[in-house]
Amino acid sequence: MHSQLSLSSIGSLIDGTYANPADLLGPHPIDYRGETAIAVRSFLPAAAAAWVVSPDRRFRRSMRKIHPAGFFEGLIPPGDFGFDASGRLQSDASHRSSKSHDGSDRHASPERYRLGCCRGGDAAGPVSVYNIEFSDSTGKTIVMQDPYAVPSILTDFDRYLIGEGRHLQLYDRLGAQPRTIDDRSGVNFAVWAPNARAVQVVGDFNGWDGRRHAARVHAHLGIWELFVAGAKVGDKYKFRLLTEHGEWVDKSDPLAFAAELPPLTASIVTDLTAHRWRDDEWLERRASVDPQRLPMNVFEVHLGSWQKGPGRAHGWLDYRDLAHRLADYCHRMNFTHVELMPISEHPYSGSWGYQTVGYFAPTSRHGSPADFMYFVDHLHQQGIGVLVDWVPAHFPKDSHGLRRFDGSALYEHEDPRKGEHPDWGTLIFNYGRNEVRNFLIANALFWFDKYHIDGLRVDAVASMLYLDYSREHDQWVPNQYGGRENIEAMELLRDFNTAVHEQFPGAITVAEESTAWPGVSRPVKDGGLGFTLKWNMGWMNDTLRYMRHEPIHRQYHHNELTFSLIYAFTENFVLPLSHDEVVHGKGALIAQMPGDLWQKFANLRLLYCYMWTHPGKKLLFMGGELGMWNEWNHDDGPQWELLDFDTHRGIQNLVSDLNKLVVDNPALHAEDFSGVGFEWVDCLNATDSILSYIRKAPGAPPLLICCNFTPVVRHGYRVGVPQAGFWKELFNSDSTTYGGSNVGNYPGRETTGVPHHSRPDSIQIDLPPLGVNVFRLDS
């Protein structure tokens, strides 16, 4: 029998440039003496001889080598291998199935097992009822499943959702999916590369020779796919793409679940079903409560530098060790949540994770995906929430990553005025492209779904929302209405928040947004962006600027403290003292405080007390609780040795007790986002630099907070209160426990019957120097 293929087609296949290898390779019906036979073709560069064999080895047909490079063709006549004259299986094909790695069956009708219907990347196709056996030059015999005789992992509904850009579980279809076909295990590889001329899968399973595994294309989707029998969990792999410019490039999988330790860049086949979760109680409780009414004391952590240990590269601890250390420390410090700086895979450690390449892969610096699952699971079992930084604003230009992925501007904009970030030297996602939006939203949901995280803090939201962000007047392109707002980014963020809150009730989304964009944390149905919370960058900047003033000058800057309460309830705010405030020459927080050594510590205590009693959730970057002197460095981390000194242990004790104060008192957390929870007693005493205010919540006793921003002790200072009775001193920042001078009012003060500050009664107190007192009405 002569082959019906042209030599030019075979030549294009061999050099890797044939548009869709499935048109040539695999099973194809042909006319054979007036009946339908099956031509099976395979490209086996290392083979000396090859055969088509049935799984039970009852049938064995020789394949002819029709090209010296290793192109083989065999014929299955009618009646062999259980096929009739029409090329249809004679047995009941409905009992055959494709099984995903999670064990779910994907049954198909008998029509789907008709050999030859798998051409052109169609989803319909046969489960392989034959194998290919070949021998190499040494005589070694290898049996393999024909990758082109395996049905697509994509169902009709998958293809519809992908085409619409609304496949929220994209990570269950693309990438590397372990899969079993007729009891033969392998991996299904799929990647979006619509402008590639050819795509090959290369990896440990084929000696990194992509000619053996040229992917077939779903042309209308731009997705290239191939099942590789024998590929297994732990194998390293990449996609090798032929660009429209005729250049072969190797790319990491955009949806890879794991990656090699940088600077190596291969993706790793991973099973995400192995971990047995034990946090059901946590997740049920999370879905049943309103996180906005709960205490939220967040400890921001860079896992690579928080603590170090022997036995791993650069002293990086593994996720399991970190889980236990962090849980114990959060309990000691009364933090309710940890927020991890980006843990998705990134090539450059100096980016702190904010230049991500592997959006679906926890960094291998600290272990495997299963190790990170253990990390989250353990913290949940210890009652601690886990937030993760997420970076949909930009991505780096590393050649193995998303940049010009298939030779074209696929994930980014072609126009640098929209596609490049001038500050960071990175690329900006094309939010107007359905597939890119789908990639990002599916990525966000992935971390909630597969890793059970409790929230995402979205980095650099302002840079997404404004087309002219950090650009000169001639360096940006207006939107269709002539404005500076990035409408596509707005829609992405709204869709992201809607999907997260619908799919995972009780989950938290946090915006790092530094402008006055309205409604960032308001519901999408009300015209907002839909975030749960927004960082209050205005409060942070005003407060730190005020605290840097010498106390004698603070009376002239009093409004820098009080201004935040004008807008405090326009958004659901988090008060952040994050990593950004202790890097790039700003100095550590204590180093930014004025005065001598004693005053620096007192000012830092004062700053923390004002922050913890101000409306809003709290976030503190690691090392801030130690009063460390050095700026944060990602190679060094906190100065733990400072705890040898009483002054630094005092700061640590203060932060721990402030966290407990918030947790124990609903007045300090239940109404953080409503004027119901706050009222001024006196915000006008600029001369003495004193503030006094009430924090309250329905059904809870009110708290009176008095802050003295000067080093002058105020004896007998009268403060108005809303009710008569005994006001117990709950907290005094000047306690010797915290390194203070012990000026205070223990155990509290009885009201005097004298109206003051437009209140029916008052108490007289001693205000400590650079200190804060917290009183609670003792019922």
Please write the tens of the pLDDT for every residue from 257-293.
Answer: 999 999 999 999 999 999 999 999 999 999 999 999 9
Backbone φ, ψ for residue 439 (5° rounding):
-55, -45
pLDDT of 174 higher than 90: yes
Asked about 459 being catalytic, the answer comes back as yes
pLDDT in tens, 523-571: 999 999 999 999 999 999 999 999 999 999 999 999 999 999 999 999 9
Average per-residue pLDDT for the chain: 92
Taking residues 640-651, report their average pLDDT.
97
Residue 26, helix vs strand vs coil = strand
d(CA 436, CA 190) in angstroms, rounded, equals 16
Walk across the sheet containing 216-218 and list its strands. 105-107, 97-100, 175-181, 184-192, 223-229, 216-218
> Which pLDDT value is given to residue 656?
98
DSSP H or E run through 298: strand 297-301
> Residues 23, 339, 435, 512: which is the catalytic one?
512
pLDDT of 86 higher than 60: no
263 preceded by cis ω (within 30°)?
yes
pLDDT of 240 higher than 60: yes
Asked about 488 being catalytic, the answer comes back as no
DSSP β-bridge partners for residue 355:
none
* Tokens read off for 262: 């940088």
> Which pLDDT value is given to residue 545?
97
Q: How would residue 95 be classed by pLDDT, with cut points 50, 70 and 90?
A: very low
d(CA 535, CA 541) in angstroms, rounded, equals 12
DSSP β-bridge partners for residue 316:
308
pLDDT of 117 higher than 90: no
DSSP β-bridge partners for residue 426:
421
> Which pLDDT value is given to residue 84?
55
pLDDT of 107 higher than 50: no
Q: What is the DSSP string of 551-607?
A: GGGGGGGTHHHHTHHHHTTSS-EEEEE-GGGGSTTS--TGGGS-SSHHHHHHHHHHH
> Residues 235, 406, 454, 459: which is the catalytic one?
459
Contacts of 688 (CB under 8 A, 6+ apart): 555, 708, 710, 712, 714
> Which pLDDT value is given to residue 85?
52
> Which pLDDT value is given to residue 100?
60
